[in-house]
Each structure stands twice: as C-alpha cells, then as structure tokens.
Amino acid sequence: MRVAVVLAALVAGLTASLTGALAATDPASDRPTVGVTEVTGVITPVTADHLADTVERAATAGHEVLVVRLDTPGGLVDSTRKIVQSFLDAPLPVVVHVAPAGADAGSAGTFVTYAAHIAAMSPATTIGAATPVGGQGEDLDAKVMENAAAFAEAIAQARDRDIDLAVQAVREGRSVTADVALEEGGIDLIVGSTADLLDEIDGTEVEVRGDTVTLTTAGAELVELPVGTSRRILGFLADPNLAFIFLSLGTLAILYEIANPGIGLGGVIGVSAIVLAMFAFAVLPVNAVGIVLLILAAAMFIAELFAPGIGAGAGGGTAALLLGGLFLFPADSGLGVDLAVLLPTVITVGVLAVVAGRFAARTRHAPKISYAEHMTGRTVVVTGVAGGRPQAQLDGTWWRLRPAPGTAPLRDGDEVTIVDRDNLELLVAPAEGSTAAVPDPTADTEPS
C-alpha cells in the first residue's frame, strides 16, 4: 500500500511539472484573439460581402473584437448600407480604425466608421465629404440628399456620436481631420498602431445586441482575416472603367474575327474580354437602358461589316456606345465610367470599326482564285516515265502526270506546262524552251 501511495504521488508530481512546463512554453495559450481585416479602395458589393462574412467568421471563431483597417474614398450606397447593417447587428464588437497615417474615410467610409462600436483614427487622417454624387461627380436631387442625411443621423444616434457632424458631412460635404472629429464627438480615439489601439480600448464597455460587453484586448493575439482569392479577383474586376474597356475591346475583337475568319484568335480574345466584363456587371449595379444601348452598339458595328458604305453603321454604333457608357450605371450609385476613359475608348472602337468594315468589303470583293487556277501555267519536269508512272514535283508534293489530248507522250526530263487538273492528276503539254535536268525522286513517290 505504501509503494502504491508513493507511486501515485510521483505520478501526480510529474503530471503537475509537465503541465507547468507546457504552460510555460506556450504563454499565449490564454491570450484573447482579435480578428483583423483591411478595406482599401472603393466600396463595392464585393467589399460589403467580405465585411458581412468576416463579421460572422470573427464571431464564430470566438474573437474578442473585429478590427477593420479602413482607407477608402467612398463607394456604392447600397453596399454601404449593407456594411452598416452588418455592423449595427454584429454579434461581436466591431472596431473601425482609419489607418495608416494619411488614410481617408471619405464619403461612404464616413458611414462605415460611424457604424462601428468603436471608431478610431490614426494621426493625419480625414473623414467626411459624404455628400452623395452621381457617376460623373454631379450633385443629385434633394430627395437623395435628404435620405443620405437621415441615414447619417440614424447611425450617429445608434452609436451616440455627434449628429451635427454626421449631417454636415452629407449636406455640406464637410470633411475634417482626426483631431476635429475627436473634439466634436465623431470618433472615440486617435491612435497610430493596431497594438496601441487594443491597449487603449481594453476595459471599454460597449453594447452588443442589447448586452453590455467589456473588452479584454490588451496584449491580444492578432488574427488576420484577409479577402479570399476569388473576392480579390472580383474586387479587381468590379471597376466601372475596366468593365467598359473589356466590353468595348471584346466587341471590337469579335468584329475583326467576323471580318476576317481565321484561326479564331480574335474570337477567343473577344469572348474572354466580354466574359470578364460580365463578371464586373454581376457585382455592380447597372441600368437596363445602358445594357440595351451597348447591345445596340454591337449590332450596328456588325452591320458596318456587311454594309460599309459611308460608315453609317460605325457612326451609329459609336453614338450608342457613348450613350451606353454614360447610362450604364445608376446616377445615385456613385459609380460611372470616367470621361477620360469613356471618350478615348469610344473613339478608338468607332475608328477601328470603320477600318474593319473596309477590310471586310475588300475581302468579299477580292477575286477568288482556286488552287487549280494557281497551278495552271506553271512548268514542271517529268520523271518516272521509265517506271510506268509519270510524275512531277510541285510545291513539295508529287503529282501524277497525263499528257493533254493531242500532245506527244511524256518522256523523263521533259519540261511541261500544266494546263488543267483532274483530281490527283495534272494534264500537261510540252513547254517552250529548253528541258531541265531530271530531278531525283524521293523514296515516297506516291502523289498526294
């Protein structure tokens, strides 16, 4: 019994020592974790989907908070609303940090920052200028303005932020620095790095879905939650200018394939470019009128190939393409094709469409020359007569020969002129002039 007791004590001691050693080698095992993601560039449906999914992922993984590093000039209204909704109803605290120094939470970024449980900015950053504008930067009507102002006011009320500052950002397009935003109650703190941010907000109480939560973030482990590869690709393609260029050049490539059918390279390039444009349109809000105008432009460009004339088809297609680019995106979406991209693209496509029409016309009216006509009149040297199989080599191919009616029999070494073709045989007649040397037939003497 004494031995058993001693052994049990030894085992318990070893277990305790081993547990202590493991704990000592992994000091971070009890550290809280914080999910971190980054949003840069224009806010699009891809951005909204990423943030909505990331909020759920962070909550499911048990992270203490989700930190969103933000630097954006603005973006789509619908996408902004989706992000705001996901933040206001988030199952865990969301912290938006406008960073790094020099970053901007412009336009839509203002709403996103205000919607966070904690809003922070790095030094030398800005926020505001949230007046809604159209795709070409034009001001929108009063109804849209009032709706955006009410939206900003509702967010500020929900997060106990300064309402006047939020509304001024919409109505007056006011933009302020981090210092002014902190002084007027638009944000909660100014801090440079994410690590300092987590130390500063440690112990802060926030309300999450009606419950008060105390943050434990000091020394927390950062877990990056990056944008997935597919969303990165979609984010790259979700550019109105890029989508318009892809669609225009894809249409042009198909025009040249129709004008000069060949190995299909133009068709492959054209279809690939149009498919990429369709990916962009799948995630961007588009106007049906703009799509119809683009289809009309393509139809008129194709008509130019079959009736080049004075270029009426190309002219009409160019006009339709220009209008399609202008009306492709809703005015209140904040998106549009930049005129610096739209005009050069439209002019280039219109000019090249005229060239394609002229090229197609020349191809249709060019005389058609068959290979038999191409062979007629050419001179070859006869060989193989001694073996009972007269033949001659033409363009690297051996052909059987037969004397044309009314001509002398063939002899090896004779120079003869091709007068006609009968399937795999050439009809020949004696040629004028001297006789060429007899060529040495190859092992393969069968005619093609």
Domain that holds residue 393: 371-430
Whether residue 100 has a cis bond before it, omega within 30° of 0: yes
Residues 388 and 405 grouped into a single domain: yes
Which CATH number characterizes residue 93's domain? Answer: 3.90.226.10
Residues 35 and 174 grouped into a single domain: yes
* Residue 250 resides in a domain: yes
pTM, rounded to two decimals:
0.63
* Residue 2 resides in a domain: no
Residues 266 and 220 grouped into a single domain: no
In sequence order, the 6+-apart residues with CB closer than 8 A to the CB of 211 are none
> In b/e form, how buried is each residue of 296-312, taking b as 16+ CB within 10 angstroms?
bbbebbbbbbeebeebe
* Residue 440 resides in a domain: no
Q: Which of 230, 255, 281 is the last residue of a domain?
A: 230
List, for residues 204-240, the tens digit of each pLDDT value.
Answer: 999 999 999 999 999 999 999 998 887 888 777 778 8
Residues 103 and 188 grouped into a single domain: yes
* Residue 384 resides in a domain: yes
Please give the tally of structural domains in the chain. 3
Q: What pLDDT score was predicted for residue 44? A: 87
Residues 82 and 199 grouped into a single domain: yes
Give Cα 241 to chain centroid, integer Å: 11
* Residue 14 resides in a domain: no
Q: What pLDDT score was predicted for residue 330? A: 72
Residues 218 and 72 grouped into a single domain: yes
Q: What pLDDT score was predicted for residue 22? A: 42
CA angle 355, 316, 349 (to 5 degrees): 40
* Residue 447 resides in a domain: no
* Residue 24 resides in a domain: no
Q: What pLDDT score was predicted for residue 357? A: 81
Crossing angle between the packed helical segments 142-158 and 163-171, to the nearest 10 degrees: 160
Residues 203 and 137 grouped into a single domain: yes
Q: How would DSSP label each residue in 112-139?
A: HHHHSSEEEE-TT-EEE----B-TTS-B
Residues 60 and 202 grouped into a single domain: yes
pLDDT along the chain (448 residues), means of 10: 48 50 47 94 89 96 96 89 96 97 94 97 95 58 84 95 94 94 96 95 94 94 90 79 91 84 76 87 82 91 78 88 88 74 92 83 60 74 88 84 86 87 85 52 45
